[in-house]
């Protein structure tokens, strides 16, 4: 296994904090005080960006109510993302410390993770320095028969009836938006299964752009995208697991814990039967629903999603020439073979575990890796993510982004992890509207 050369002090490996007997002052007007401690970790450059070989320093601060917490004990780790070392503890006399983080000799991301324990509760923070991410190259291979495999897979859809069922849900409609539960037929290696979802459309007659909203990972209910439809979009939000999307929550809880637990690993040793085979085809079929909608404008078809939905948006767009634009947030399943080369791979981190490093499993990932679909995009794409994402490591996402040849735009929120901020979500909706041609 090849390891990325890293230069940083071996003793700087991790950092956790306990408030060691320190009592914060209580205002004279009150009897007691509570707060929400924060652990803030920041690289020493405003854009968190470095050239390979440049040194980076991280400042770690424990705050409560905007003030540094004196005598907090912290534990920190420093290293390439998902390869951070073991912990070192330190007491912060003034609530803050700056440590040397070393450097990286190859493009990638160097991360400092810190935590503190106050009143029995643990609080975490992290900061991530980028080293020439625009020069990150893939580790995933591209099979010689990749295009043939997907042409043959898609050919099954050509003569298969959509068999669309669409039911108006009056109690979920608004004066501006109609809401329907939908399901349609999807093949799964000789068997017929179904995709379920929620379609929302403007109540006012007219012609409108269409958006396929593909889901993040997990097993859950879906309730449609009424806010987008109120702004003039036909939106189909789909689930991928072949179950209705508005069942009692306990049903999804049970499936998540049993039959669908860790579904991205199902049949990984067989490219024909792998779980995402049916999923990718089902997403393309979702576009069939939209282009056959009587209110579609006949021109604009956008696919949008985040995390697993970012994966599915890129895949669907690459497989379907009708797509005119893609909006993706922190895409999953990018360059998943990174772990075989000593660096972070994309969610679901299968190849970081020996049990999934069988040659047949590794080969299967090459037919489903988001990166190999990113090479084949034919329409503009808008991407967004954060440097602090621990679920979809930025190394993996940049590996995919860097092979895209169509017009592309990347928006970064430096400190964001895998949970988006209100501002990020607002901008996400704006990006979808822009891509759909709505000012």
Catalytic option among 153, 307, 382, 396: 307
320 part of the active site = no
Alpha helices in 64-167, H assignment, sequence order: 146-158
CA distances in angstroms from 416 to 15, 16, 50, 425, listed in the order given: 20, 21, 18, 12
Catalytic option among 183, 320, 335, 389: 389
Q: Which residues pair with 7 in a beta bridge?
A: 103
Determine contact, residues 328/397, Cβ cutoff 8 Å.
no
- Rounded CA-CA distance 429/190 in Å is 38
49 part of the active site = no
227 part of the active site = no
Contacts of residue 231, Cβ cutoff 8 Å, sequence gap at least 6 = 433, 438
Of the candidates 91, 98, 93, 97, the one whose C-alpha atom is nearest the C-alpha of residue 116 is 91
> Could you tell me how many residues make up the chain?
439
* Three-state DSSP state, 58: strand
- Rounded CA-CA distance 322/298 in Å is 10
Catalytic option among 75, 241, 418, 420: 418
Provide the annotated active-site residues.
Answer: 307, 389, 418
């Amino acid at each position: 296994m090849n390891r990325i050369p890293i230069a940083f002090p071996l003793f700087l490996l991790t950092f956790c904090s306990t408030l060691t007997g320190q009592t914060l002052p209580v205002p004279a007007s009150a009897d007691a005080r509570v707060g929400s401690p924060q652990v803030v970790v920041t690289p020493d450059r405003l854009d968190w960006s470095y050239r390979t070989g440049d040194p980076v320093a991280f400042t770690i601060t424990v705050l409560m109510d905007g003030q540094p917490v004196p005598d907090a004990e912290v534990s920190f780790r420093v290293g390439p993302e998902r390869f951070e070392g073991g912990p070192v503890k330190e007491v912060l006399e003034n609530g803050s410390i700056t440590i040397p983080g070393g450097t990286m000799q190859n493009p990638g991301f160097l991360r400092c993770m810190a935590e503190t324990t106050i009143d029995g509760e643990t609080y975490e923070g992290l900061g991530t320095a980028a080293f020439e991410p625009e020069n990150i190259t893939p580790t995933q291979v591209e099979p010689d028969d990749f295009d043939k495999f997907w042409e043959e897979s898609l050919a099954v859809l050509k003569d298969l009836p959509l068999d669309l069922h669409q039911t108006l849900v009056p109690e979920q409609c608004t004066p501006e938006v109609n809401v329907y539960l939908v399901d349609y037929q999807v093949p799964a290696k000789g068997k017929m299964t179904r995709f379920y979802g929620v379609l929302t459309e403007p109540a006012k007659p007219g012609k409108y752009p269409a958006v396929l909203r593909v889901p993040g990972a997990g097993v859950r209910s879906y309730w449609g995208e009424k806010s987008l439809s109120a702004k003039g979009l036909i939106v189909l939000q789909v689930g991928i697991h072949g179950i209705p999307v508005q069942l009692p929550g306990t049903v999804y809880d049970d499936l998540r814990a049993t039959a669908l637990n860790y579904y991205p690993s199902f049949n990984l040793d067989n490219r024909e039967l792998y779980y995402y085979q049916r999923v990718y085809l089902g997403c393309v079929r979702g576009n069939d629903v939209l282009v056959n909608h009587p209110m579609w404008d006949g021109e604009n078809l956008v696919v949008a999603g985040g995390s697993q939905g970012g994966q599915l948006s890129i895949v669907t767009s690459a497989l379907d020439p009708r797509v005119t634009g893609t909006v993706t947030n922190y895409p999953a399943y990018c360059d998943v073979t990174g772990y075989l080369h000593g660096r972070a791979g994309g969610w679901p981190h299968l190849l970081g575990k020996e049990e999934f490093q069988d040659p047949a499993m590794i080969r299967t990932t090459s037919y489903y890796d988001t990166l190999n679909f990113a090479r084949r995009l034919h329409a503009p794409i808008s991407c967004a993510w954060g440097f602090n994402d621990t679920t979809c490591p930025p190394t993996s996402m940049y590996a995919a982004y860097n092979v895209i040849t169509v017009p592309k735009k990347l928006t970064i929120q430096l400190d964001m992890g895998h949970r988006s901020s209100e501002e990020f979500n607002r901008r996400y909706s704006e990006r979808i509207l822009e891509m759909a041609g709505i000012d």
